Structure 1
Amino acid sequence: MAIKLQMLTEHPNEIALIERYWAVDESGQFLEKVSVLADVIQMPQGVTLASFIRQRCTAFDENQVCPQCAELIEIRNRSEAKKVPQRSAKLCTFCQDKRNAIELEVKKAKAEELERRLAEYFRNQLSRTVDYAGIADGQVLLLLALDRAITPRLTNGGFTIGDCRGLAPRYISDFLSQLREAGLILEDPNKAKPGTYYWQQDEIWVVNTQVAYRLAPDTKLGSGEEVIRSLLDRVYTDNEGLFNLWLDYSVADVMCYLADQCDLYNHALSEHEFEEIKSSLRSALEIYSVSQLWSVAWKVVRDAASLANREYYNRQKAAATIPGKIRRYLEKARRESIELKSWSRPELQPAGTLGMVLGEVFGIDEDSSGLTVSSLFARLTGRECSSNVEAELCEPVRELMTNALAHDVGPSVLFRFAELIRAGHDVGFAVKEIGSALRS
């Protein structure tokens, strides 16, 4: 092994030390130990022998050549030297600098392309508007709750998912996704932190927690507080949408309590197990209240903690029983009509602004059962009345259509029905009037 030296000093003592540091015998072993050489010359405090020599000499290993140009490879210390000739895995200084320059140009070009794409994306976002008078009831309530959670950032500034923690006890990103997918909140790359958008190979990736959002402007009202004020007088008519939003929120409320209880007793559940529990609880919430399911979660988690202390069990096995225990307990409660206890809201788990809005608009809270909420929404949206009318008309309509077909006067019946409706009569009167005429 031979080391080729390029001196960067003219001081004789330093040159002598460098030559002794790199000197080797025929087998490639270094002749002198570093511990001995370290005392030859007095060096500044904190400076190692290797760094002292590196500042005064460039060393090239004649046993290592660059894989691109076959020039000798520069080595920085003894550990990088090789005893036998070989092609190096790293490049020589010249080739490495050349590669770095190319990579820098590529990085610069990608940064410019990223900036161009984000600017184009932002321009497209700016052109999007929403007719807020036509959005779904559930989206109205979400926006009102979101505005309350992050005022005034929803209407006059950018916000991130982290800013929205006050919206609900859990699953904040899921609620925001509903608004994103509906085009009600838009990304605002100009207000995102540097590094939010970046290249990963040939694709643009994003750090979701750093994405900045803003409220989409209204078609007529533009952007700002006017949009939110326009939602305050909404007349709610979507029974199914309202109930689904209540279920989404209630699931978040129960799952937050369950997760806290699991942390308290060191029960580690997988994402799959949490999803299984979430499904069971959503189904149960169609009947029970949030406070009742808190009591179920408390009982099952406590039972699992007790089970973990038994022989042949451990905490992991005990935690794995929680999804099944919840499902079986709820099945038994329904089958045997067991009255579930109600728990008070935990001090460290506020309802969130979505829960507050639901309470103020509809008078419901954690003690409202799914059956009560479902009935309330049906009554408020007119669905209950509509269902009763449909049930009352079912038999008369069937009789009318049967008689119309039997007398081969189907078209005449439809024309007469249309006339009566246009004249201002309701469906029940029209059916009764035409049916009487057919029977006479």
Structure 2
Amino acid sequence: MIQRYWAMDESGQFREKVSALGEVVQLPQGVTLAAFIRQRCNAFDENQICPQCEELVEVRNRSQACKSALRSTTLCTRCRKERDALALEAEKTKAAELVSVLAEYRRTQACHVVDYSAITDAQVLLLSALDKAVTPRLTNAGFTLADCRGLAPRYFDEFVETLKSAGLLLEDPSKAKPGTYYWNGDEVWQISAQVAYLLMPGSAGVNANEVIRSLSARVYTDRDGIFNLWLDYAVAAVMCYLGDQCKWYGHELGEQEWDEIKSTLRAALHTYSVSQLWFVAWKVVKDAASLASHQYYNRVKAAATIPGKIRRYLERVKRESIELRYWSRPEQQPGGTLGMLFDEVFDIDEDTSGVAATLRIARATGQEHADEIDAQLCAPIRDLMIDALALDAGTSVMLRFAELIRAGYDVGCAVEEIGDSLQREHADDHSAQSSSAGQQS
């Protein structure tokens, strides 16, 4: 049977068909003739020569056999086993090297410590919100980007990247899934979605849980930094709703169009609330959907009008003093832990206008009257600098200013003291010059 299965004529054709041979032997259920033959023999094709050792190449079925002699591109069984053994050994070596590289990378990161009392207010808020989103994995178990979805309605990965770029998060390869890190040539690459992160160690003797507790006691003072973080969050909230509406109506926008919309919304959020811009998003997307049904439009052309429609509608609202409606929060869109934190600390939510948000953050940071103070100091500082430059005393004025600040003077008192001193020196010089002129005459 084996000989009949492999028998070929002078033209390289098999003498008997498999279907005919299958009727000769009663095969068990599910067993093919090729498997039956393969279990009982090793067949070598005289028309195929191993390119490495020039031995005959083994074939497992008829489809692998050649009709005429040729130099095979397939290795023989022995050479293939040797090659596979070498490849396996090289793979084990590279795997061991990867483990060593990742361990060293982990140790290098862990050697760095962060003075959490010196990080910005915005970073404190982000870390606190991230802790609420991934508790307790921020401090001990490790977390991935997918675990951070509860941080914000959209762009949560960008918020995490902000913390990573600031050196507040470390990668922990030991907590990542197998295969997260791999060799690409001589470089170690990673699958970003599977990277595991941890909170960067604090100062010596301070564990991660104590760091989180210290963050909750922060006294916020950076009005501008916190407001910019609010704008980042508010843009994410509006863009999430806009994206859902576009998906509902089948509108597809390009990356450049999304970026254009983000810029427009960020500027508008200085004045309006998130819920008011939800209404704008709903109205514009619905108008674009209606436009798509017109004779000379289609869905692609209609979607392309959305960035311009948002901008023009906001311009009209401002020009005609139109009162924007407040839109309810979509059920499928939670606010995220960052939004909850803004509500808890600053009493800011989706219905808070940009103007009100600015005032509430200024009040909470003790900067409510900072602009008024800056305005009061503007004229005295300008006059002092003019006098200093006129008298060629710029260097001495700056040194004296630094000396007074170190001594405990506030800015206003230091400016006044230096100004009075300059005027006295100028008056003394003028008097001395007048006396000298009188003696000469």
Task: Give TM-score, length-normalised by structure 2.
Answer: 0.88
Alpha-carbon deviation of 1:249?
0.9
Task: Tell me the distance in 2 between the aligned counterparts of 1:406 and 1:22.
Answer: 107
Task: Name the counterpart of 1:284.
Answer: 268
Task: Tell me the distance in 1 between the aligned counterparts of 2:262 and 2:66.
Answer: 60
Pair 1:125 & 2:125 matched: no
Task: Name the counterpart of 2:336.
Answer: 352
Name the amino acid aligned to 1:50.
A
Task: Name the counterpart of 1:14.
Answer: none
Alpha-carbon deviation of 1:225?
2.0
> Of 33, 50, 58, which aligns to 2:34?
50
Name the SS for the 1:134 alignment partner.
coil
RMSD: 2.6
Q: Which stretch shifts more, 96-105 or 147-156?
A: 147-156
Task: Name the counterpart of 2:73.
Answer: 89
Cα offsets for 1:233-254 (capped at 9, x unmatched): 2111222211121111111111
> Of 220, 227, 241, which aligns to 1:257?
241
Task: Tell me the distance in 1 between the aligned counterparts of 2:132 and 2:236.
Answer: 18
Name the amino acid aligned to 1:223.
N
Name the amino acid aligned to 1:165.
R
Task: Tell me the distance in 2 between the aligned counterparts of 1:413 and 1:78.
Answer: 97
Matched ranges for 1:230-241 at <5 A: 230-241=214-225
Task: Tell me the distance in 2 between the aligned counterparts of 1:142 and 1:409.
Answer: 45
Matched ranges for 1:13-92 at <5 A: 17-92=1-76
Task: Tell me the distance in 1 between the aligned counterparts of 2:55 and 2:405.
Answer: 95
Does the 8 Å CA contact 2:347/2:360 hold for their aligned counterparts?
A: no
Does the 8 Å CA contact 1:237/1:381 hold for their aligned counterparts?
A: yes
Q: Which stretch shifts more, 210-219 or 316-325?
A: 316-325
Task: Tell me the distance in 1 between the aligned counterparts of 2:119 and 2:105.
Answer: 24
- Label 1:417 to 1:80 Cα distance change in 2 as closer, same or farther (>3 A): closer
Matched ranges for 1:136-285 at <5 A: 136-285=120-269
Name the amino acid aligned to 1:215.
L
Alpha-carbon deviation of 1:67?
2.2
Name the SS for the 1:166 alignment partner.
coil
Between the aligned residues of both structures, percent identity stands at 65
Name the SS for the 1:73 alignment partner.
strand
Name the SS for the 2:44 alignment partner.
strand
Task: Give TM-score, length-normalised by structure 1.
Answer: 0.88
Name the SS for the 2:295 alignment partner.
coil
Alpha-carbon deviation of 1:224?
3.1
Does the 8 Å CA contact 1:221/1:227 hold for their aligned counterparts?
A: no
Pair 1:398 & 2:375 matched: no
Name the SS for the 1:42 alignment partner.
coil
Name the amino acid aligned to 2:254.
S
Alpha-carbon deviation of 1:273?
3.3
Does the 8 Å CA contact 1:242/1:377 hold for their aligned counterparts?
A: yes
Name the SS for the 2:48 alignment partner.
strand
Cα offsets for 1:33-71 (capped at 9, x unmatched): 211111110111101111111111222222222222222
Q: Which stretch shifts more, 352-361 or 52-61?
A: 52-61
Alpha-carbon deviation of 1:317?
3.3
Q: Which stretch shifts more, 80-89 or 161-170?
A: 80-89
Task: Name the counterpart of 2:431.
Answer: none
- Label 1:434 to 1:259 Cα distance change in 2 as closer, same or farther (>3 A): closer
Task: Tell me the distance in 2 between the aligned counterparts of 1:167 and 1:20.
Answer: 70
Task: Tell me the distance in 2 between the aligned counterparts of 1:434 and 1:34.
Answer: 107
Name the amino acid aligned to 1:136.
T
Alpha-carbon deviation of 1:377?
2.9
Does the 8 Å CA contact 1:216/1:223 hold for their aligned counterparts?
A: no
Name the amino acid aligned to 2:317.
A
Task: Tell me the distance in 2 between the aligned counterparts of 1:65 and 1:418.
Answer: 88
Pair 1:323 & 2:307 matched: yes
Unaligned runs of 5+ in 2: 428-441
> Of 102, 109, 113, which aligns to 2:86?
102
Name the amino acid aligned to 1:243.
F
Does the 8 Å CA contact 2:288/2:302 hold for their aligned counterparts?
A: yes
Name the amino acid aligned to 1:201.
G
Cα offsets for 1:125-158 (capped at 9, x unmatched): 3222111111110111111111111222222322
Does the 8 Å CA contact 2:272/2:355 hold for their aligned counterparts?
A: yes
Does the 8 Å CA contact 1:251/1:281 hold for their aligned counterparts?
A: yes
Does the 8 Å CA contact 1:215/1:223 hold for their aligned counterparts?
A: no
Q: What is the aligned residue count? A: 424
Does the 8 Å CA contact 2:270/2:354 hold for their aligned counterparts?
A: yes
Q: Which stretch shifts more, 424-433 or 26-35?
A: 424-433
Name the amino acid aligned to 1:350.
P
Q: Which stretch shifts more, 221-230 or 390-399?
A: 390-399
- Label 1:384 to 1:306 Cα distance change in 2 as closer, same or farther (>3 A): same
Name the SS for the 1:60 alignment partner.
strand
Task: Name the counterpart of 2:280.
Answer: 296
Unaligned runs of 5+ in 1: 1-16
Q: Which stretch shifts more, 357-366 or 399-408?
A: 399-408
Name the amino acid aligned to 1:287.
T
Alpha-carbon deviation of 1:407?
6.2
